[in-house]
Amino acid sequence: MEAKTAFVDVGDIRPVTPLSQLLDRVAEHKGCGTKGGSAKASCGSSSGPQDLAPEVWEKVKNHPCYSEEAHHHYARMHVAVAPACNIQCNYCNRKYDCANESRPGVVSEKLTPEQAAKKVLAVASAIPQMTVLGIAGPGDPLANPAKTFKTFELISKSAPDIKLCLSTNGLTLPDHVDTIAAFHVDHVTITVNMIDPEIGQHIYPWIYYKKKRYTGIEAARILTERQMQGLEMLAERKILCKINSVMIPGINDQHLVEVNRAVKSRGAFLHNIMPLISAPEHGTAFGLNGQRGPTARELKALQDACEGEMNMMRHCRQCRADAVGLLGEDRSAEFTTAKIDAMEVTYDAQTRKAYQASVEQERQAAVAAKRAEQEQLSQLADAQGIGMLIAVATKGHGKINEHFGHATEFQIYEVNAKGVKFVGHRRVDLYCQGGYGEEQSLVTVIRAINDCHAVFVAKIGGCPKDELKKAGIEPVDKYAHQFIEQSAITYFMEYVTRVKTGAIVHQARGDADIRQGALIAAA
Ligand code: CLF
Ligand code: SF4
């Protein structure tokens, strides 16, 4: 008897280039738009104009997600115009925003395209360094194509200097690539959690495709084929594509290395591996069945393993679908519909341009400071094999400018004899809460940065200072309001000297927690 095929014909899915052929291309791949020819593509979030083709640099230089360095200086905003979704992810509860780009438990205010357009102009006038408009939910933007593209149309007419960006699960992406290109949407994110339907069936219980519901392996197969097809079509049109992947320990953690290779070889520009955030109170399938998220060390190890293939985005904040501001901050409460309705909005392109020129100067100063300190580091004869992580309290601008007690996140930098780089961030509960609950929140802060040797702050009180020291984390306030990377290198060189002279003994640090609880939103 003839064996039955496991798959049904679902229509016009274009054949996707087989992975074996693509892997052959990897060896020749010169990096996503890069000039260099090194084995490791130098595309990615920490690259500068020297690494990228000019047309690629133009697209990424002030996009806070596509350039790690830009994220200290430039802001993005989202408008929540896309409520519907066409798939189900086991880490998503549809009462909340799309968990492919948002932390679970976050609810955004839904807008019409016209309300969204007014909001963009209002924010652009109030926050001149806001350079990117993204549509990332609260469902899937391409499951709501009329609303998504109407919004892009209105913005491109009224504020043509703002870059357009969207994030999708990819199921209907191939149907919309030409429209995306026609609207000059230069940045598209696809969430790709698997390329193997056997694995995918544990992440996606169903999809809704061409008026039919599919489940299990078949649903995952259609989804992965459509995602890869969409990615190839974007790359052909030179639209920069970022891949988001949610790391789910025991399900796709090992597999994401293969995903990384597959998407790189199809022309993805950047890979963003995010931790699963999973707790019963989110009401998701994973939250309810006890599926855990990765620890900080597990996440970093996977990101490091993939970095040999392709540069990684490590500064993602898993934003709300109506997020506003620099990536680490949330100013959405300043721009509610009621407030926008009451505003007179005048869009002043000249003032925005002048402001951004001053931001660019500040950014160049940060780059120059880092370069100067890096030269000093190269003169360090022997770093004794020491490397470390440093947590930094910052409000942006690449500086140490936040009080320990006011920090809602710490940025994490890795420093060793080769240099300094941003490797992630940790959300924390506010320590300074007017005396209430401070002991408990200090414990959670210490757990969140427990893998760090030091914490850089603009200011810190005596009590947390002592507790941090007891936990083996050195509180450092002497670099207040100075550039982060320059200060990290200076500290590292002093640290190595202290070890060499026997003043201190270098010890390995432990692992750290990634916060799993629902966001306590500022909104
Ligand atoms: Fe928004 Fe996404 Fe565009 Fe950025 S966010 S649509 S690429 S403008 Fe950025 Fe936020 Fe991470 Fe997204 S930090 S969740 S990666
Ligand atoms: Fe939820 Fe986004 Fe997945 Fe849809 S694509 S189920 S909104 S996480």
pLDDT tens-digit profile of 288-299?
A: 999 999 998 899
Nearest alpha carbon, ligand 1 atom 9: 65
* Residue 98 near ligand 2, beta carbon < 6 Å: yes
In this predicted structure, the answer to whether residue 240 has a pLDDT above a threshold of 60 is yes
Q: Is the peptide bond before 18 cis (omega within 30 degrees of 0)?
A: no
Please indicate whether residue 169, judged by its CB atom, sits closer than 6 Å to ligand 2.
Answer: yes
Mean per-residue pLDDT for 30-40? Answer: 34
CA distance 242 to 189: 5
Tokens of residue 173, six digits: 């992406």
Cβ contacts of 304 within 8 Å, gap of 6 or more = none
Rounded Cα–Cα distance for residues 311 and 308 (Å): 7
For residue 190, list its beta bridge partners: 168, 243
Residue 99 Cα to ligand 2 midpoint, Å, equals 6
pLDDT at 434: 58
Indicate which residue's Cα is closest to atom 7 of ligand 1. 65
Assessment of whether the complete model's pTM goes beyond 0.85: no
Nearest to 484 by CA among 375, 406, 394, 360: 394
Q: What is the pLDDT of residue 4?
A: 34
Q: If you measure from the C-alpha of residue 200 to the centroid of ligand 1, how many angstroms do you get, rounded to a whole number?
A: 23
Instruction: Tell me, in angstroms, the distance from the centre of ligand 2 to residue 363's CA.
Output: 36
Give the whole-angstrom CA distance, residue 197 versus residue 203. 10
CA distances 481 to 190, 374, 404, 422, 487, Å, are 37, 19, 13, 18, 10
CB burial class (10 A; 0-12, 13-18, 19+) of residue 456? buried
Kindly report the protein residue whose alpha carbon is nearest to atom 1 of ligand 1.
Answer: 134
* Tokens at 240, concatenated: 């920069």
- State the Cα–Cα distance between residues 299 and 276, nearest whole angstrom: 10
Q: Which atom of ligand 1 is nearest to the CA of 101?
A: 14
Give CA separation, 170 vs 42, 156, 505, in Å.
26, 23, 51
DSSP annotation of 101 reads T
Mutation to probe ligand 2, out of 107, 135, 144, 169 (largest number of atoms < 8 A from CB)? 169
Q: Is 10 helix (H, G, I), strand (E, B) or coil?
A: coil
Whole-angstrom CA distances from 458 to 393, 407, 410, 472, 476 are 7, 10, 12, 19, 8
Q: Beta strand pairing status for 454-456 and 387-392?
A: parallel
How far, in Å, is the centroid of ligand 1 from the Cα of 78? 8
Q: Indicate the pairing of strand 187-191 with strand 163-168.
A: parallel
The CB of 89 under 6 Å from ligand 2? The reply is: yes
CA distance 383 to 155: 52
pLDDT grade, residue 31 (50/70/90)? very low
CA–CA gap between residue 131 and residue 75 (Å, rounded): 6
Task: Name the closest-CA residue to atom 4, ligand 1.
Answer: 65
Smallest CA separation from ligand 2 atom 3, residue: 89
pLDDT digits (tens, 9 = 90+) for 312-350: 898 888 888 888 888 877 788 888 888 888 888 888 888
φ/ψ (deg, to 5) at 433: -125, 40
Q: Does the CB atom of residue 192 touch ligand 2 within 6 A?
A: no
Query: Residue 37's pLDDT is what?
Result: 31
Closest C-alpha to ligand 1, atom 8: 134
Q: What are residue 270's DSSP bridge partners?
A: 242
- Give residues with Cβ within 8 angstroms of 491, minimum separation 6: 390, 415, 454, 456, 476, 479
**Ligand 2 atom closest to Cα of residue 138:** 7
Ligand nearest to the CA of 85: 2
Å from CA of 158 to ligand 2 middle: 30
Per the prediction, the chain carries an average pLDDT of: 84
Separation between Cα atoms, residue 217 and residue 510, nearest integer Å: 39
pLDDT digits 0-9 by tens, 37-87: 333 333 344 556 667 788 888 888 889 999 888 888 899 999 999 999 999
The pLDDT of residue 199: 97
| Span of 23-37, 76-90, 382-396, 433-447 with lowest mean pLDDT | 23-37
Cα 401 to ligand 1 centre (Å):
24
- Is there a contact between 148 and 141 (Cβ–Cβ < 8 Å)? yes
- Please provide residue 207's backbone torsions phi and psi, each rounded to the nearest 5 degrees: -135, 160
Which atom, in ligand 1's list, is nearest to the CA of 165? Answer: 3
Atom 10, ligand 1: which residue's CA is nearest?
319
87 lines ligand 2 (CB under 6 A): yes
Please compute the mean of the pLDDT values over residues 493-514 and round it to a whole number.
89
CA 99 – CA 85 distance, rounded (Å): 11
Of 185-194, 325-334, 412-421, the one with minimum mean pLDDT is 325-334
Ligand 2 atom closest to the CA of 191, numbered from 1 = 5
DSSP character string of 257-303: HHHHHHHHHTT--EEEEEE----GGG--HHHHTTPPPPPHHHHHHHH
Residue minimizing CA distance to atom 4 of ligand 2: 85
Q: Indicate left, alpha or beta for 129 from its phi (over 0: left) and psi (-120 to 50: alpha).
A: alpha
Q: Which ligand is nearest to the CA of 167?
A: 1
**Ligand 1 site: residues with CB under 6 angstroms?**
65, 76, 78, 101, 132, 134, 136, 165, 167, 187, 189, 242, 272, 316-319, 327
Confidence of residue 436 (pLDDT cuts 50, 70, 90): low
The ligand that comes nearest to the alpha carbon of residue 206 is 2
Reply yes or no on whether the pLDDT at 269 is more than 80.
yes
Distance CA 45, CA 315 (A): 9
